[in-house]
Structure 1
Amino acid sequence: MSSTPPPSSLDPEIAARLKRSADGLLPAIAQQYDTGEVLMLGWMDDEALHRTLTTGRCTYWSRSRQEYWVKGDTSGHFQHVKSVALDCDADTVLVKVDQVGAACHTGARTCFDADVLPLSQ
């Protein structure tokens, strides 16, 4: 992503509250709205957040492809947005969704179930 973020239609009052990383991004945690299951982590800039808030579908910024992507457009595994909240520091977004199909690009329901690390006792 360039050092100057692209123009966005995000509400200026919301944009003014956000604390972005140096590359203009916020981590966006997707969580199943009714079970609380953590599904995945993606990245949003102001425009991706605007699109998410206005379309009801999660839009993310791909750091590797340097482009926007809407969850489900190619996989059919849609995320229908139920709510969006900022954390207390305004540097992370929690998107509660109704996940259709797998959330993870591997085909798993969640990105957080395959590699559980052992706890030291």
Structure 2
Amino acid sequence: MNTDENTTSDGQAQPEWLERVAWNEQGLVPAITQSVDTQRVLTLAWMNRDALVATLDSGFATYWSRSRGKLWRKGESSGNVQRIVEVCLDCDNDAVLLRVEQVGGVACHTGRESCFFQVYENGRWVTRDPVIVDPKDMYGLHE
């Protein structure tokens, strides 16, 4: 491992607990988010080292946005933040589980409780969950 992989983006040395995570070639790890209230899987997102550190430091889920190329605190636009209750690492150290309190009951940008709202039934995908909050209201996109 080179020295760049042993430091965060601000040049600080990484703590040993951060080195335990088996980061992929892009320096990312999948982060599965689960509601502590319903036990339902809410999202699958990605974290880099800085995102995991920010999550643990702040107590709120922070991810790495691959499309925007920057850190993204869940709920920064919508207000539907994910308050951390527990952070777990799987047996291979290559996946993180965030157990959260989902503020506002909406985790998906579509306004649903979970991003996993489409269920395969009888040869097609069926939308299972209702929209709880209109995304236009959530993100202030009214004309």
Normalized against structure 1, the TM-score is what? 0.87
Where in structure 2 are the equivalents of 1:1-121 lying within 5 Å? 6-7=9-10, 12-101=15-104, 102-113=106-117, 115-118=118-121
| CA distance in 2 between partners of 1:70 and 1:8 (Å) | 21
Identity value in percent: 47
Checking the alignment, whether the CA contact within 8 Å between 1:86 and 1:93 is kept in structure 2 is yes
Match of 1:72, as an amino acid?
G
Aligned CA-pair RMSD: 2.0
| Greater fraction of residues in helix | 2
Match of 1:90, as an amino acid?
N
Checking the alignment, whether the CA contact within 8 Å between 1:10 and 1:47 is kept in structure 2 is no
Gaps of 5+ in 1: none
Checking the alignment, whether the CA contact within 8 Å between 1:32 and 1:39 is kept in structure 2 is yes
Match of 1:26, as an amino acid?
V
Checking the alignment, whether the CA contact within 8 Å between 1:9 and 1:47 is kept in structure 2 is no
Task: Give the CA deviation at 1:117.
Answer: 1.8
Displaced runs of 4 or more, over 6 A: none
Per-residue CA deviations over 1:5-51 (Å, capped at 9, x if unaligned) read 63476852112211111100000011001321110011101110001
Provide the secondary structure at the position in 1 that maps to 2:108: coil
Normalized against structure 2, the TM-score is what? 0.74
Match of 2:67, as an amino acid?
S
Checking the alignment, whether the CA contact within 8 Å between 1:30 and 1:96 is kept in structure 2 is yes
Aligned length: 116
The structure with higher relative contact order (CA 8 Å, sep 6+) is 1
